[in-house]
Structure 1
Amino acid sequence: MSEVVNQSCLAGAEDTISFLVCVLHACEEWAGLGQVEDYLSVLEYLLWVFTPLAVVFILPFLIVILLYLSILFLHVYKRKNQLREAYCNNLWDGARKTLATLWDGHGAIWHGYEIHGMEKIPAQGAALIVYYHGAIPIDYYYFLANVIIQKGRTCHSVADHFLFKIPEGVSGAGFKLLLEVFSVMHGPQEECVQALRNGHLLGISPGGVREALFSDETYPLLWGKRRGFAQVAIDSQVTIIPMFTQNLREGFRSLGTLRFFRWLYERFRLPVAPVYGGFPVKFRTFLGDPIPYDPDITANELAEKVKQSVQGLIDKHQQIPGNILRALLERFHSKYKDK
C-alpha cells in the first residue's frame, strides 16, 4: 500500500521541492521512523532529564581544576623566583598569600563563606585543629586561607596516604609541590608531634577518607577506633580546637553509601566513590571551645572528649538531615542567628 502511495506521490510531484518531500516521507516509512517530531520530543525530554544530572557530577571537577590552577601558579612562581631563593628565607610566602586570597574569594563568592570563632586560633604557638571531613574538604581549604590571611600563619595538615601515591609526572610533581608548599604530611605520629613542638598549627580529620565517602546528610562521625590524634596532642602538650562547617554535605555529596563502593574501599582501600554536587550553598565554619592539655587524661578519654565536642558543634549548628534547598536559601540570610 505504501508503495502505491509513494508512486502516486512521486507521480504528482510537480517541482523539485515536492519531489524531495515525497522522498523524505518514503525514507521515513522505509526506515520505520514514523514522525521525526516524535523522536525530537523524546530527545528533548532526555536532555531535560539528564543534563542536570551531568552538571552535578561535573561541578566537583571544577575544584580539581582550581587545584591544578593553583599548582600551575606555584610552578610559574617557582621559576620566576629561582634566583631569589638563595637570598630569601621565606620564598613561598608570597605564593601562599596569593593563593589564599584566591581561595578565600572563591569561598566568599560561591558559598558566602563565613568563619566563626577565628579568635580561638592562637596568633603564636601550637594547636591541633580537629575537624569533620566532608565529601570534598573544600571548607578546610577556605579555613587554611583564612588562617594565612587573618593570622599570618601556615597551618600544617595531615592528608590521606593516597595523595602521596600519585604517580610522578606532570600531575604527580604538581601535587607534590602543592603539598610541600602548604606543609601537608601523610601523618606519622612522630612527624605530627614534631610539627606541634616546633610551634605550628596542625589540622587533622580523624574520620579521613572513610568519613568523606561514607558519611551522609545526617552527619555521622566515622572515627572508628582512631586515637592517634589524641596521643599526638598529649605527647606535644597542646590545646585541641574542634571545627565543623555547616551545610558541608549539602555542597558535595558522595555515592559511598552504596554497598559496592563501601566494599571496594574496605577491600582494596580504593577511594573511588563518585562525588556529586558543587551547589552554591551557605558554608559557615564554627570553631568550638579549645580543649586544653590535661596531663591526667588518657588518649582514649581525650579522643572521646574531642568527638563529643565536634558532635556538639554538629548538634548546635546543623539541621539534621541536611537539605540542599534549605542550605541554598540560607545564602539570603544576612546574619546568622545562633541557636
Structure 2
Amino acid sequence: MDQSSQLQSGIGRWFLAWIGFEDTDIDYLRWLFVLLSPSVAVFLLPAIILILLYISSILIVITKHHRRIFRKAIHDDPWDGCRGLACAFWDGTSKFWHGYEVVGMENIPDKGGALLIFYHGALPIDVYYMVAKIYLYKERLVRSVADRFVFKTPGFGPVLQAFKVIPGTIQSCTEILEGGNLLAIAPGGVYEALLGDHYYELLWKNRIGFAKVAVNAKVPVIPVFTVNVRETFRSVQFFKNIWKWLYNRTRLPLVPIYGGFPVKLKTIVGKPIEHDPTSEPEELAEKVARAIKKIRDENQKIPGSIWRALLERL
C-alpha cells in the first residue's frame, strides 16, 4: 500500500472512531462513498423519479376510470374493495406499460364454472392482467392454482388470500369448479416458465391433472394464450442443462429471469371446449393442447423477438 492509500485509510479510521463507528469496515465505507457519488446519483436518482412518475400516472388513470372501485373499498366488503383496488392497479399498469388487450372476452362465461388453461410465461404477468380484466369487467373472481413455493414467499400472503390462490389438488379444484367458479391453471407450471423459450413449445410433461378436474366437475375448458408473453420476461438460457438439473433436484425457481420490456401483449381467449361425458382425461388434455397450439400458431411469430414485440407496442 502506498503512502497516499495509508493516509486515506488512517484518516478514514480516525473519522469512524471519532463518530463512534470504529468497528466499521473501511472497505464498506469506500463502497458506500462510491454508491453515493455524483456519477452514480446522476443515473440512479432520475431513474427513481421516473418510476415514481410512472406510478403516479397509473394511479391517476385507475382513479379516473375506476371510481366505483374506490367507493366500494370504502363502503362495502373490505375484501372486495381490496381486490378491486389491486385489479384496478394491474389493469392500469397493463394498459400503460404493455398496451394490453384481450380478444375473445365473450368466451368467458358470465356465470357457472369454467376452467381456464394458460401457457405459462417466464413470469405469468398475463394471468395477473387477465384476472384483473375479468374481475373489473365481468365482476367475476378467477381463482388460480400456484406452485407451493409461492405460499412460502414472504409478503405474498395477503395477495394469495384476497384472490383465493391455492396449491391445488384434483379434489379441491373439482370442488371449486362445481361451486360455479372460474379457475385458472397453467399445466406447464414452473417447469414451463423457467425452461421454456421464445419458441413457445408446451412443456406439460404428460400432465393431465387439469383434464381430470374438468371431467370430474363437468365444466368447459377455455384455452388461453398471450402473444409476446415470452418477450416481456425471459429466463436465462445459458447453462440450460444445469438449470434443468437444479429444478429437478430442488423444485425451486432458481433460473434467473430478466426483462420487464414494454412489449405489446395480447391475450387470445379461445372457444370453450365443452364437456363431453364420453371423453377421457388423456383425450381432453390432448384436445386442449391442440387448441392452445392453434392459437399460438395463428397469432405468435416464432421465434419470438423482443425488438419486434416492442415495435408492435409502438
TM-score normalized by the length of structure 2: 0.75
- How far the C-alpha of 1:267 sits from its partner, in A, is 1.4
- Equivalent positions of 1:129-168 (< 5 A) are 129-166=116-153
Q: Residues 185-224 of structure 1: matches in 2 within 5 Å?
A: 185-224=166-205
Matched residue of 2:311: which SS? helix
Q: Does 1:290 align with 2:272?
A: yes
The residue number in structure 1 matching 2:82 is: 95
Match of 2:236 in 1: 255
Matched residue SS, 1:293:
coil
Distance 1:240 1:305 in 2: 10
Residue of structure 1 in register with 2:62 after alignment? none
2:313: which partner in 1? 331
**Consecutive unaligned residues in structure 2, runs of 5 or more:** 1-38, 59-69
Write the deviation string for residues 273-329 of structure 1: whole angstroms up to 9, x where unpaired: 000111100000000111000000100000000001011111011000001111000
> Does 2:207 match 1:226?
yes
1:236 aligns with 2:223: no
Contact 1:256 1:262 survives alignment (8 Å): no
How far apart, in 2, do the equivalents of 1:191 and 1:204 lie? 13
Q: What stretches of structure 1 of length at least 5 have no aligned partner?
A: 1-46, 67-76, 333-339
1:113 and 2:130 correspond: no
Aligned partner of 2:279: which letter? I
Aligned residue type for 1:207 = G
Describe the SS at the equivalent of 1:249: helix
Distance 1:100 1:165 in 2: 23
Match of 1:308 among 282, 290, 303: 290
Task: Give 1:256 deviation, angstroms.
Answer: 5.0
Alignment map for 1:40-59 (pairs within 5 Å): none
Seq. identity, % = 48
| Bigger CA radius of gyration | 1
CA RMSD in angstroms comes to 2.3
User: 1:270 Cα shift?
Assistant: 2.0
CA contact (8 A) 1:250 1:323 kept: yes
Alpha-carbon shift at residue 268 of structure 1 (Å): 1.7
Count residues with an aligned counterpart.
248
Give the distance between the partners of 1:113 and 1:259, measured in 2 at CA. Answer: 34
- Deviation, 1:94, is 1.0
Opposite residue 272 of structure 1, the aligned amino acid is L
After the TM superposition, which of the residue ranges 228-237 and 95-104 deviates more from structure 2? 95-104
Structure 1 residue 91: deviation in Å? 3.1
